[in-house]
């Protein structure tokens, strides 16, 4: 395992398909240490997560600016 594991791990990013040009923004409310936080995820049409943003206030324009692919 130690002999082939690092070489296999190095090749994983190269084997993954690239993100597609179509994506959407998901919004979810989560509780972290008792505080309400807004979780934004940029997800392409294949279901791959492109970017994640967690913020205490609901600010869609900031999430779009951060997640612009």
Instruction: Give per-residue pLDDT as tens, 1-44.
Output: 567 788 888 887 777 777 778 888 888 999 999 999 999 888 88
Tell whether 13 is covered by a domain: no
Tell whether 47 is covered by a domain: yes
pTM of the complete model: 0.61
Phi, psi of 17 (to 5 degrees): -70, 150
pLDDT of residue 6: 83
Tell whether 7 is covered by a domain: no
Distance set, CA 31 to CA 25, 38, 53 (Å): 19, 9, 14
Question: How many independent structural domains does the chain possess?
Answer: 1
Tell whether 55 is covered by a domain: yes
């Amino acid at each position: 395992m130690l002999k082939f594991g690092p070489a296999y791990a190095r090749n994983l990013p190269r084997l993954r398909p690239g993100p597609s040009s179509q994506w959407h923004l998901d919004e979810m409310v989560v509780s972290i240490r008792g505080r309400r936080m807004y979780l934004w995820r940029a997800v392409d049409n294949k279901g791959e997560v492109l970017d994640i943003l967690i913020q205490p206030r609901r600010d869609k324009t900031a999430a779009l600016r951060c997640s612009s692919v």
